[in-house]
Structure 1
Amino acid sequence: MTIPKTHPFPFDPTYGMTLDTLRAIVPPEAPPGFDAFWQKRYKRALAIDPQPALRKSNLTHPAWQVLDITYTSTDEVTIGGWLLLPRDAPVRRGLVVGHGYGGRDAPDFDLPVEQTAILFPCARGMSRSAQAPIPPEAPGHVLHNIDSPDDYVIGGCVEDIWIAVSTLQALYPWLANRIGYIGGSFGGGLGALAIPFDNRIDRGHLIVPSFGDRKQWLTLPTVGSADSVQTYQKTHPDVLGHLRLFDAATAASRITVPMLVAAALFDPAVAPPCQFAVANAVPPSKYNEIFILDAGHFDYPGMTEQNFALREKLRGFLKLHEPGISALA
């Protein structure tokens, strides 16, 4: 391991924890009504006709046909993004790819997938899905309607993922039960919340996922989105009560499909204890794996090699699991 020894932060991004202590973290219990809250939202999202609209993109790539896409999500929000289709192969799988809290400027052309339609939606309020009055930047976005669980923007972003799945199925009906999800940081936390309540998603890959163990998330120093919520908490001490419904670790304990979770030992933006709360919550299975990164949201020696190893692990993970396999088998 090559955990960074020097850094510019006024706190320790390992939080004094080792791999052993991180792996021993137990996810928080669900608050009353947790499952009913998300099941109700999912039922509402399933009733939405996404009405996808496609047009040729200005972006080009030799291996992919690139299309700009919009679809309708809950609350009549228009979600924008990109759709990649293989140029020289049939579409046999689908993949929804989330993004971090910096938004997304373009699709990722280097994912290790084949014969796959890849949808890159931008979360509501951000990038191609910018919409007033949702703030487009992370510090304000994460606070939008935070005191109203039914209206909190994070819940809407989870619904955007579910309706991204609906969009792929509307365009390619034969992809039913052949759609996976990938998301990192902000998108990793959203994925942990989305996957357990949508049985159309057949596997998931989360990288340094956010929003795990909200109690710690609200107390550990950070340069990530939790910082603005910690400031808000000083004048709104009841915010934890609302956020417990949006705990990615609590949700992850309900996941029943194959999962590859990458968690970091050092991370100034998403505290490793919160990442491991999510990773540890996924029920054990021969199909599930936690991939250990030395650091997240920070450059470090060996990062290129670790990212390559994770990419190759993902390639095998996406090939290994056939549709219909339960991670709890």
Structure 2
Amino acid sequence: MPQMDLPLEELRRYLPDREEPDDFDAFWAETLAEARTHDRPPEFHPYDACLSEVDVFDVRFPGFGGDPVAGWLLVPASATGPLPCVVGFLGYGGGRGFPYEWLTWPAAGYVHLLMDTRGQGGSLQPGATGDPYGSSGPSSPGMVTRGIQDPADYYYRRVFTDAVRAVDAARAHPSVDPARIIVSGGSQGGGIALAAAALADDVGAALVNQPSLCHYRRALHVVEGNAYREIWTYLRTHREAVEPVFRTLSYFDGVNFAARATAPALFSAGLMDDICPPSTVFAAYNHYAGEKDIRLWPYNRHEGGGYYQDLEQLRFLRSLPLTAS
């Protein structure tokens, strides 16, 4: 497959204007304030995963509207004091799966809280969290267009709120140093991580692999795959809804969250990615307000760096004051 987006020298300079509603900050402040009125503590139930070197907990914490959100918490069994914690978010369609799928971070000396994504987990790893909200309007199959004509009803309002509450939940566990929280994810998870980096309090670092949910207009003009295809299909059918849809999406655009995030961040992009085009990744990266770096994989599509990028992330975190060693 040939390179399908802008040349690299243009990507490095690519800084599009942000589409941002005037009440962006107020919208999120009110959303999170309401979520935190549901202040019951997170639950961490010991879980026998047949792992001798990692203590596993089946997690439930209150997310948007106080809805119970599932997750896994993995703690190195040898831990003697509070450790930094990587709070992880999943790609589109994935659920929390099984604990033994998520051993990299505890093997490296970090606590790992993996958040289940509400309403997903039916096409990749299995999930355990429902989404009990109906939509006030029609949607394409999948999750990305649910409630898409009203920011208050939009599906990702719930997901991004869940992500902030996942950070809150991680901080509540005695094995976690609340001052050393890292948010991490790829694709959809990368977009969620950008939102969490901007909205959660005092995040220590962000690991953002080929994020989706960024620079929507550009994405829909360049690719038609995966989640963006659902939006494209919706707009193809609801021709009158273009501007209401993009107004809603402006409250959830990773570019706007990037402009508010200040934690040190490591991004990545596959330069042949036909799911999350490189220009949308660079739009978020170039607007990112904090210290940042990016790893590029010239011949890779949406898989990006894969295990190579895992090693880059481990090295990146080791270079920061919140290192686990």
2:296 equivalent to 1:292: yes
Structure 2 counterpart of 1:181? 183
- 2: CA distance between counterparts of 1:81 and 1:284? 28
Give yes or no for contact 2:89–2:115 (8 Å, CA) kept in 1.
yes
Q: Which residue identity lines up with residue 166 of structure 2 in the other structure?
A: A
- 1: CA distance between counterparts of 2:5 and 2:183? 32
Task: List structure 1 segments (4+ residues) > 6 angstroms apart after TM superposition.
Answer: none
* Distance change >3 Å, CA 174–CA 17, structure 1 → 2: closer
- 2: CA distance between counterparts of 1:33 and 1:155? 15
TM-fit CA distance, 1:147: 1.4
Unaligned runs of 5+ in 2: 121-126
The RMSD of aligned alpha carbons is: 2.5
- 1: CA distance between counterparts of 2:171 and 2:5? 45
2:212 equivalent to 1:196: no
Unaligned runs of 5+ in 1: 6-13, 324-329
* Distance change >3 Å, CA 132–CA 43, structure 1 → 2: closer
Structure 2 counterpart of 1:130? 130
Give yes or no for contact 1:249–1:278 (8 Å, CA) kept in 2.
yes
User: Which piece of structure 1 moves more, 275-284 or 223-232?
Assistant: 275-284
Paired residues in the alignment total: 304
Structure 1 counterpart of 2:113? 119
**Deviations 1:70-114 (CA, angstroms, capped at 9, x unpaired):** 112121311112110111123321221000002122341123764
SS at match of 1:209: coil
- 2: CA distance between counterparts of 1:282 and 1:240? 21
SS at match of 1:66: strand
* Distance change >3 Å, CA 50–CA 25, structure 1 → 2: farther
* Distance change >3 Å, CA 133–CA 48, structure 1 → 2: closer
2:110 equivalent to 1:110: no
TM-fit CA distance, 1:204: 0.5
Q: Which residue identity lines up with residue 35 of structure 2 in the other structure?
A: A
Give yes or no for contact 1:112–1:314 (8 Å, CA) kept in 2.
no
Q: Percent identity?
A: 25
Structure 2 counterpart of 1:307? 306
How do residues 162-311 of structure 1 correspond to structure 2 at under 5 angstroms? 162-172=164-174, 175-234=177-236, 235=238, 236-238=241-243, 239-283=245-289, 285=291, 288-294=292-298, 295-298=300-303, 306-311=305-310
Give yes or no for contact 1:48–1:163 (8 Å, CA) kept in 2.
no
- 2: CA distance between counterparts of 1:97 and 1:134? 26
TM-score normalised to the size of structure 2? 0.85
- 2: CA distance between counterparts of 1:50 and 1:173? 19
How do residues 318-329 of structure 1 correspond to structure 2 at under 5 angstroms? 318-322=317-321
SS at match of 2:4: coil
TM-fit CA distance, 1:50: 4.6
TM-fit CA distance, 1:122: 0.7
TM-fit CA distance, 1:64: 1.2
- 2: CA distance between counterparts of 1:131 and 1:177? 31
